[in-house]
């Protein structure tokens, strides 16, 4: 009895000391955006994602932000706290370097979050506005380099094409859409933030087990997209949005709209415990 009690105490002490680190990799440019709802969309998306991560209880010092427009309009967000956060260059070599530094001493009791905001192709690659392209294999090797339990949320067009190369055993991979659809973000909508918001939103717990699974968070994110699209975005895109000329030379507005989707896919690594999810601490 004594031995069991001491072991239980030791385990609970270890769990209490578990660390969490989040990486927000935003490599869109906030320059040269023609439409009003595109203005400062990356910075505002970063701010919303930061806020959702803070709501999970992750300390400010452990939320690492990569953002290349070195002079963001820090006042153009509705959230306090992010204004003084340091910013790292939004290029993959820098992400790889800092990720390694911040996670090298983490254990299997710790947690890592990696979320990206970038362009993507249907060929298993991200195409940041800064630096070179990033393959799904490179991202998989990155998250494989830590022993910590890890969850990724990749926000990019055709993000599902990253999944075939995503097989790190301790990682849950989430993509905002499949390999056939584009994704969407604007100054008022951010799928990254919606996903992490789910874990502190009681109604996202649809099975009533007092926690929000990654699959429930994906469903919550999808439902928020459906509501936003129906209530505002569809009409705006048809009647007011300033589409890029190159897009309209190849497709009609309605074709472009029909290609947009937020319907997150979830792929679990082989060694991810079924009961593991993100919780507020």
DSSP string, 7-73: HHHHHHHHHHT--EEEEEEE----SS--SGGGTTHHHHHHHHHHHHHHHTT--GGGEEEEE--SS--
Domain assignment of residue 281, yes or no: no
Q: Which residues of 37-59 are buried (b: 16+ CB within 10 A; e: fewer)?
A: bbebbbbbbbbbbbbbbbebebe
pLDDT digits (tens, 9 = 90+) for 171-198: 999 999 999 999 999 999 999 999 999 9
Sequence-distant (6+) residues with CB within 8 A of 67 are 26, 42, 43, 46, 87, 88, 90
For residue 97, is it within any domain?
Answer: yes
CATH of the domain at 93: 3.40.50.1460
What are 192-250's pLDDT values in tens digits? 999 999 999 999 999 999 999 999 999 999 999 999 999 999 999 999 999 988 889 99
CA distances from 169 to 2, 93, 163, 212 (A): 35, 23, 13, 21
Residue 5 lies inside a defined structural domain of this protein: no
Q: Is residue 123 part of a domain?
A: yes
Task: Classify residue 81: in a domain, yes or no.
Answer: yes
* Position 253 in a domain: yes
Cα angle 64-65-68, degrees, rounded to a multiple of 5: 150
Angle, in degrees to the nearest 10, between helices 136-144 and 92-103: 20
* Count of domains forming the chain: 1
* Strand ranges, E, within the chain: 20-26, 63-67, 87-88, 111-117, 119-120, 125-127, 134-135, 149-155, 171-175, 265-268
- Rounded to whole angstroms, the Cα distance separating 276 from 101 reads 25
Question: For residues 277 and 235, what is the distance between their CA atoms, to the nearest angstrom?
Answer: 36
Beta carbons of 96 and 142 less than 8 angstroms apart: yes
Residue 221 lies in a domain: yes
Give the domain extent around 27. Answer: 18-268
Give the list of residues 6+ apart from residue 187 with CB closer than 8 angstroms, or none.
37, 38, 39, 40, 41, 44
Is 134 inside any structural domain?
Answer: yes
pLDDT digit string (tens) for the chain, length 281 residues: 444 444 444 444 445 568 999 999 998 888 767 899 998 899 999 999 999 999 999 999 999 999 987 677 778 877 777 878 889 998 999 999 999 999 999 999 999 999 999 999 999 999 999 889 999 999 999 999 999 999 999 999 999 999 999 999 999 999 999 999 999 999 999 999 999 999 999 999 999 999 999 999 999 999 999 999 999 999 999 999 999 888 899 999 999 999 999 999 999 999 999 999 999 98
What's the pTM value of the predicted model, to 2 decimals? Answer: 0.92
């Amino acid at each position: 009895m004594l031995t069991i009690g001491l072991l239980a105490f030791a385990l609970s002490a270890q769990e209490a000391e578990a660390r969490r680190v989040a990486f927000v990799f935003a490599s869109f440019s906030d320059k040269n955006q023609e439409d009003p709802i595109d203005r400062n969309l990356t910075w505002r998306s970063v701010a919303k994602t930061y806020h959702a991560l803070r709501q999970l209880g992750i300390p400010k010092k452990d939320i690492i932000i990569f953002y290349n427009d070195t002079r963001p309009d820090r006042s153009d967000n509705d959230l306090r706290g992010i204004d003084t956060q340091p910013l790292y260059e939004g290029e993959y070599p820098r992400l790889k370097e800092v990720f390694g530094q911040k996670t090298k001493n983490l254990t299997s009791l710790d947690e890592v979050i990696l979320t990206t905001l970038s362009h993507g192709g249907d060929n298993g690659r991200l195409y940041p506005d800064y630096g070179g392209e990033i393959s799904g294999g490179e991202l998989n090797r990155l998250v494989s380099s830590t022993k910590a339990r890890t969850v990724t949320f990749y926000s990019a067009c055709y993000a599902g094409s990253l999944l075939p190369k995503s097989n790190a055993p301790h990682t849950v991979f989430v993509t905002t859409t499949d390999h056939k659809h584009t994704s969407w973000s604007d100054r008022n909508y951010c799928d990254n933030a919606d996903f992490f918001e789910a874990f502190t939103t009681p109604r996202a717990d649809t099975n009533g087990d007092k926690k929000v699974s990654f699959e429930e968070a994906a469903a919550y994110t999808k439902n928020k997209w459906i509501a936003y699209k129906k209530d505002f975005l569809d009409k705006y895109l048809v009647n007011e949005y300033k589409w890029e000329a190159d897009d309209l030379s190849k497709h009609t507005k309605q074709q472009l709209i029909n290609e947009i989707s937020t319907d997150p896919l979830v792929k679990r690594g082989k060694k991810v415990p079924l009961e593991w999810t993100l919780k507020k601490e």
